[in-house]
Structure formats: structure tokens, C-alpha cells
Amino acid sequence: MMLTRYNPWQELNALQRQMNGLFESSQPTEKAPVAELQETEQAFMLKLELPGVEAKDVDIQVAEKAVSISAERKSGTKTETDGKVRSEFYYGKFQRVIPLPARIQNTDVKAEYKDGILNLTLPKAEAEKNKVVKVNLEQPAA
């Protein structure tokens, strides 16, 4: 049987690694913008919070049953004079795809961006009319 010497610092090192892990996991991760979807008889009204994003950095793509918004929040220049700077703001690219509960007319979408809020008006597509089709029954020749 081999004897090993007890090292009390080993347990403290493990504790320090666990504590460092707690602080590292509290750093911000990629964030998708929060959204609010309202429905009227004529359209869906979609609002997204995009604070700090310039309108030229927003890309909106609309399909019949979903809206995709991607944007980039660019960081300003930082100067470090007295030690480290801590920032919890998220800078970088993000994307959000929002499924819609019904089809829309994606060619008539209106967008407005003011004070960091993106407002989309998504007009509903006209309901397809119930089409009745007459089917002729052919009898095979005898």
C-alpha cells in the first residue's frame, strides 16, 4: 500500500476553480430581442426591442408564416485607464425567428423603427375561399 501526503491546498484550489466558474457563467451570453405580438382583425402587430441598434444594421425577412429579424449591436470605443472595465451589454450579431399563427401578405408589410423599438405591421392574407370542384366520373368501356 502506497502512502500519499495530505495537501490542504488541493481542496482550496478546487474551491477556487468552482468559485471562478460561478463568475464566468454570469457573463452575458448572446441575447435575442424580446418581442410582443398582437392580433387585430386586419393584421398582426409585432414589436421588438432593439436598443442601441442602428436602423441600417437591422435585416428583416418576412415569409407567409414567419418573420426573421437579424441585427448587430456595435460596441463603442473603450478606453481602459484605471484597471479593467466590466460591461454586461451584449455586442454582436443576433437573430430571432418568430412564427406567426396565420398566413400574412408578406408583400404589404410596413416597418417603423423609433427609439429602439421596431414595429412591424403584418397584414393578414385573405382566407382562401372554399372551392368546390365538380369531378366527372368516367365509366370504363365495356
71: buried, middle or exposed (CB in 10 Å: 19+, 13-18, 0-12)? buried
Query: Is the pLDDT score of 70 beyond 80?
Result: yes
What is the rounded distance in angstroms from the CA atom of residue 53 to the CA atom of residue 73? 5
Q: Residue 129: what pLDDT?
A: 41
Provide the CATH number for the domain formed by 30-74+89-126 in this structure. 2.60.40.790
Pairwise pLDDT comparison (116 vs 27), residue with the higher score = 116
pLDDT band at 30 (very low <50, low <70, confident <90, very high): low
> Mean pLDDT of all residues in the chain?
81
CB contact set of 15 (below 8 Å; sequence gap of 6+): none
How distant is the alpha carbon of residue 5 from its chain centre? 54
Contact 57, 46 (CB under 8 A): no
- The predicted pLDDT at position 60 comes to 94
User: What tens digit of pLDDT does each residue of 97-124 get?
Assistant: 999 999 999 889 999 999 999 999 999 9
Residue 128 pLDDT level (bands cut at 50, 70, 90): very low
Q: What is the pTM of this model?
A: 0.63
Q: What's the pLDDT at 130?
A: 47
